[in-house]
């Protein structure tokens, strides 16, 4: 079983708690294949708080930990924004990328970081996806929200709505379709059925409500079809997600953050996993934040972390299958 690396995220938040709870809930072989990256003291404290009964170290039944030191650690406080928390999140991700690039871990699973804390620490990225793109020198990256009932990949994510409209361009949409298609094929789906949401209400109603769907989205759909991909669209965003949930499509391409996030979280709030595509390494994540308001109270729900670890196992298993020659 290949190793899954789990980063602690911002230690002021719920990351250490959900990691301990999730690891305690895993079967022993899966727990043995996990490697936690972060502050061992925070992990041990969360273990005590949550009464998860874990042990850490190199023993056969222990959780393996890679310790990461970060600047301004003395500024970290439970449930509070701090530069120390931002530094800790940044440096754990940096170490995880090094391990993934060296082949020591198959997939990175990330606990939540706080963007404001990262910026306070001087690491001005839009979140995990942008940071991972920078650290791996990838030319582009894409955010996929995946669940059993609905999966959505985004043309743009953490930008203003005006910037999102500006980024709705044919080439970027085609690249997004390709990334989603390649990911699902890698997971074993022979021919993913992809729907592309329109940008404007009712896809612009023939240009009455804007021409982006005519001039940018439709040409992207045609280009993807010309490559042999099974793509439909543009389809009105007020119906396309319902159609996907009913089984008509395997993946929806959303044009901007809230267009895709709102229906996906509504349909599968606890089991939706955030997956970064377009990178030379594999990463998935919980799809929630640091929850400073309940951090270090023992209340954090670890169900989404379990979903992320399960998805990472699926990615790692298929990656192994792809890399092995046919018999």
Any idea which residue has 């190793």 for tokens? 3
Indicate the pLDDT class of residue 326, thresholds 50, 70 and 90. Answer: very low
Of the candidates 234, 250, 271, which is a domain's last residue? Answer: 271
Do 117 and 5 reside in the same domain of the chain?
yes
Per-residue pLDDT at 59: 83
Domain that residue 108 falls in? 1-141+278-327
Give tens-digit pLDDT for 83-106: 999 999 999 999 999 999 999 999
Per-residue 3-state assignment (H helix, E strand, C coil) for 152-220: EEECCCCCCHHHHHHHCCHHHHHHHHHHHHHHHHHCCCCCCEEEEECCCHHHHCCCCCCCHHHHHHHHH
Q: How many CB atoms lie within 10 A of CB 58?
A: 7
Do 33 and 120 reside in the same domain of the chain?
yes
CATH number of the domain residue 134 falls in = 3.40.718.10
The dihedral formed by the CA atoms of 174, 248, 185 and 256, expressed in degrees to the nearest 10: 40
Per-residue pLDDT at 327: 31
Of the candidates 271, 288, 304, which is a domain's last residue? Answer: 271
Does pLDDT of 166 surpass 80? yes
Alpha-carbon gap, residue 35 to 61, rounded angstroms: 13
Do 68 and 86 reside in the same domain of the chain?
yes
Do 20 and 71 reside in the same domain of the chain?
yes
Residues 6+ away with beta carbon under 8 Å from 248: 193, 195
Do 176 and 243 reside in the same domain of the chain?
yes
Reported pTM: 0.91
Per-residue pLDDT at 321: 44
- Percentage of the chain surpassing pLDDT 90? 92
Give tens-digit pLDDT for 105-151: 999 999 999 999 999 999 999 889 899 999 999 999 999 999 999 99
Per-residue pLDDT at 35: 98
Alpha-carbon gap, residue 239 to 193, rounded angstroms: 16
Do 28 and 150 reside in the same domain of the chain?
no
Total number of domains in the chain = 2
Instruction: Report residue 74 CA to chain centroid gap.
Output: 29
Q: Do 230 and 253 form a contact (C-beta atoms < 8 A)?
A: no
Do 158 and 205 reside in the same domain of the chain?
yes
Indicate the pLDDT class of residue 319, thresholds 50, 70 and 90. Answer: low
Do 129 and 50 reside in the same domain of the chain?
yes
Give tens-digit pLDDT for 227-280: 999 999 999 999 999 999 999 999 999 999 999 999 999 999 889 999 999 999
Give tens-digit pLDDT for 10-69: 999 999 999 999 999 999 999 999 999 999 999 999 999 999 999 998 888 899 999 999
Do 70 and 172 reside in the same domain of the chain?
no
User: What separation in angstroms does the CA of 303 have from each of 11, 140, 248, 300, 308?
Assistant: 19, 30, 28, 9, 9
Do 131 and 159 reside in the same domain of the chain?
no
**Phi and psi of 309, rounded to 5°?**
-65, -40
Do 157 and 284 reside in the same domain of the chain?
no
Do 218 and 283 reside in the same domain of the chain?
no
Per-residue 3-state assignment (H helix, E strand, C coil) for 18-38: HHHHHHHHCCHHHHHCEEEEE
């Amino acid at each position: 079983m290949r190793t899954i690396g789990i980063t602690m995220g911002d230690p002021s938040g719920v990351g250490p708690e959900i990691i301990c709870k999730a690891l305690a809930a895993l079967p022993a072989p899966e727990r043995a294949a996990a490697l936690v990256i972060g502050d061992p003291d925070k992990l041990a404290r969360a273990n005590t708080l949550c009464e998860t009964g874990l042990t850490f170290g190199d023993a056969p039944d222990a959780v393996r930990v890679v310790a990461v030191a970060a600047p301004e650690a003395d500024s970290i406080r439970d449930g509070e924004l701090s530069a120390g928390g931002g530094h800790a999140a940044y440096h754990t991700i940096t170490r995880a990328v090094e391990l993934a690039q060296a082949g020591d871990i198959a997939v990175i699973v990330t606990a939540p970081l706080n963007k404001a804390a990262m910026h306070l620490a001087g690491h001005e990225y839009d979140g995990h996806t942008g940071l991972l793109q920078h650290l791996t020198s990838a030319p582009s990256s894409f955010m996929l929200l995946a669940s059993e009932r609905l999966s959505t990949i985004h043309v743009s994510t953490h930008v203003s709505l005006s910037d999102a409209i500006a980024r709705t361009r044919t080439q970027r949409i085609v690249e997004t379709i390709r990334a989603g298609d390649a990911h699902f094929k890698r997971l074993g789906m022979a021919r993913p059925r992809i729907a592309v949401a329109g940008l404007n209400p009712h896809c612009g109603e023939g240009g009455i409500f804007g021409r982006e769907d005519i001039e940018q989205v439709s040409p992207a759909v045609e280009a993807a079809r010309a490559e042999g991909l099974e793509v439909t669209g543009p389809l009105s965003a007020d119906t396309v997600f319902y159609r996907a949930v009913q089984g008509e499509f395997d993946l929806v391409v959303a044009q901007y953050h809230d267009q895709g996030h709102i229906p996906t979280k509504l349909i599968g709030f606890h089991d939706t996993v955030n997956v970064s595509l377009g990178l030379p390494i594999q990463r998935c994540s919980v799809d929630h934040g640091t929850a400073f308001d309940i951090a270090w109270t023992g209340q954090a729900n670890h169900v989404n972390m379990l979903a992320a670890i399960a998805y990472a196992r699926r990615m790692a298993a298929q990656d192994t299958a792809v890399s092995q020659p046919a018999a």
